[in-house]
Amino acid sequence: MNTTVYSTHKFEEHYLIQANNNKHQLILLDVRLTEETAVLAKGSKTVSLFTGDDASKNVLKKLKVIGVENIALRSAGFNHVDLAAVTELDIKVARVPAYSPYAIAEHTIALILALNRKLVRAHNRVRDMNFSLNGLTGFDLNGKTVGVLGTGKIGAVLVKILYGFGCKILAYDLEEDKELKEMYGVRFTDCQTLCSESDIISLHVPLTPETRHIISAEQIERMKKGVMLINTSRGALVDTKAVIEGLKSRKIGYFGIDVYEEEEGLFFEDHSDEILQDDVIARLMTFPNVLITSHQAFLTNTALTNIAETTIYNIDCFENGTVSGNEIKTK
């Protein structure tokens, strides 16, 4: 099956080719799907999209006109797809529901440790032959209270890692996980209590209309002074402007993110020769207690292999007219 793969990055190309094993004609494009680039999918029944591709109604209409019937997402999240439009246009959509919860959870821990022990600052100092320890004091994770917002696959793995550090763990989820309560001493509570009692807060819920800006100015006001806030889930879970005010007032002592609510067109690309136009993230980058990675939490060999293999499997099922189990229900 001819498949146009949008937003193909060098880091994933090898994995896609290997997983495909010459089964499908993959047309690998390094451009994002937009209204202007939709025409490049002419001749393909399937397109494969990454997180930054535009699958809004107008774009989907253009894809439908040129014969596209299926979308194979290379991600678990699908908030960039207009589900009402794919239903109306009768376009099938499949995703990669799980590729490596360990990758995301481990990157979360990396952000926590790097911020706490000020590893970036320490590394830069040593490179400048400055071996002073002043200003590098951190805290023991052991005994700290960590609030985990969302205890799905990723949140559950994070809980188990934090348990090994000797942390006290609070959690918020629509469904309480019995195993986490009984084996890891997790106390499930409401979002407000979690925010007010936690030393560290980590976000692992999906982005929905209900969870958008779940971390708001109101929630930040409830938090402990000097709280550490980590987001490796979806950028719009956090009201970034409210976080900036929290950083300025020192209410937020540490902020680590791998996602950003306005990351489309910014993350995954090299802008080193350009003038940064986003004033919000530019302001974030001025804080010494902020650590930003550009949506790389998933970037492990295991995750990339699983994403590629599941994507090709979904395309196989589209071609054969079989159910993959990874379809997004749009009705």
Write down the pLDDT at residue 264: 83
Euclidean distance between the first and the last CA atom of the chain, given in angstroms as a whole number: 26
Decide: 184 and 160 in contact? Cβ < 8 Å. yes
Q: Work out the average pLDDT over 244-271.
A: 95
How sure is the predictor about 79, in pLDDT bands with cuts at 50, 70 and 90? Answer: confident
- What does the pLDDT average to over 253-281? 93
**Any idea which residues carry the catalytic annotation?**
234, 263, 295
pTM summary value: 0.92
Buried-state track 155-179, b at ≥16 Cβ within 10 A, e below 16 = bbbbbbebbebebbbbbbbeeebee
DSSP letters for 137-204: ----STT-EEEEE--SHHHHHHHHHHHHHT-EEEEE-SS--HHHHHHH--EE--HHHHHHH-SEEEE-
Name the pLDDT band for 329 (thresholds 50, 70, 90). Answer: confident
Domain assignments of the chain as residue spans, ordered by start: 2-99+301-320, 101-292
166-178 residue pLDDT tens: 999 999 999 999 9
pLDDT digits (tens, 9 = 90+) for 179-235: 999 999 999 999 999 999 999 999 999 999 999 999 999 999 999 999 999 999 999
What is the pLDDT confidence band of residue 331, given thresholds at 50, 70 and 90? Answer: low
Rounded to an integer, what distance in angstroms lies between the CA atom of residue 184 and that of residue 193? 19
**Matching CATH topology for 2-99+301-320 and 101-292?**
yes
CATH topology of domain 101-292: Rossmann fold (3.40.50)
Architecture of the domain made up of 2-99+301-320: 3-Layer(aba) Sandwich (3.40)
Q: Does residue 137 register a pLDDT over 90?
A: yes
pLDDT band at 275 (very low <50, low <70, confident <90, very high): very high
Q: Give per-residue burial for 283-316: e unless 16+ CB within 10 Å, then b.
A: ebeebebbbbbebebbbbeebbbbbbbbbbbbbb
